[in-house]
Amino acid sequence: MLSILVTGSNGQLGMSIQEIKGQFTENIVFHFTDANELDISNEKAVRNFFKNKNYDYCINCAAYTAVDNAEDNKDLAYAINADGSKYLAKVCDEYSCIFIHVSTDFVFDGTKEEPYTTLDQPRPLNIYGASKLEGERLIQKVAKKYFIIRTSWVYSEFGNNFVKTMIKLGKEKDRLDVVSDQIGSPTYARDLAHFLLKIILDKNNKYGIYHFSNEGVLSWYDFAQAIIKLSNSDTKVFPVTSSDYITKASRPKYSVMNKEKTIKTFGIKLEPWQTSLKTCVQNLN
């Protein structure tokens, strides 16, 4: 029986793991914790939390993910995304606990015109991406057994995300303007949760950095159109450029990630984004 600690368990991914955990209770004992119980930015708190416990894996879902707010809260973003990740990884290494960490496509600057591989040089455009990249670097310094999983455009039935926002606005507004010049791939948090648990159940030891999202490439405008259609809304969606929709933090124009390494290493088949989106919208409705 494997013992798994899940940090940040009240976020989208943590909640998605909780949603599917019943499928794995014969093989796994789950321990869910959130910021109220474990402040990962406090090294002493992390050490005390691990005392007299024996976790086989730690899935770190804890993160500061408010991209625009991070521009004004740099210290907090780094404390959680960089220092917190390091403290967890270091203690996991000392306790022979395999560390699984979730990172982001925002480590890239979006200037490439083909999918980013794990060998491409990261160049984040904003504080959020920079803090997540620093977390990756610190993990690699202090831990030997780790998986860093970069993902993108995460959505789910839980928390605040683009899909839920579009459904809500589709009920309130006749028109939506959505950027059409930012290109990427959505990730259904439940698909990501299944993937992380597959790594564990397969006892895979090919540690390193991997990319994960659903299959397919589209713009936020395309994504919004699909969401509105699936939610049976009459709202009209219109494309605008990033220059028409100014945000505090810069976003990469192209953040599609190459997942061939992930598919080959773990023997998985990635769901098309359309299939997973349909499932999520049906659940929300």
φ, ψ for residue 254 (rounded to 5)?
Answer: -140, 115
Q: What is the pLDDT of residues 95-113, one digit of tens each?
A: 999 999 999 999 999 999 9
For 157-207, the pLDDT digits (tens) are: 999 999 999 999 999 999 999 999 999 999 999 999 999 999 999 998 999
pLDDT digit string, tens, across residues 248-257? 888 999 999 9
For residue 10, count CB atoms less than 10 angstroms from its CB and return exposed for 0-12, middle for 13-18, buried for 19 or more: middle
Cα 271 to Cα 94: distance, rounded to the nearest angstrom: 36
Reported pTM: 0.95
Domain boundaries, the chain: 2-161+185-216+256-271
Task: Supply the pLDDT for residue 121.
Answer: 96
Asked whether 223 and 229 are in contact (CB, 8 A), the reply is no
Which residues contact residue 121 at a Cβ distance below 8 angstroms, ignoring those fewer than 6 apart?
Answer: none
- Enzyme catalytic residues: 128
pLDDT for 105? 97
* pLDDT value of position 187: 98
Q: Is the pLDDT of residue 246 over 90?
A: no
The amino acid sitting at 210 is Y
Provide the pLDDT for residue 243: 85
CA distance 167 to 39: 33
pLDDT of 25 strictly over 80: no
Residue with tokens 């990261």: 122
- The CATH architecture that domain 2-161+185-216+256-271 belongs to is 3-Layer(aba) Sandwich (3.40)
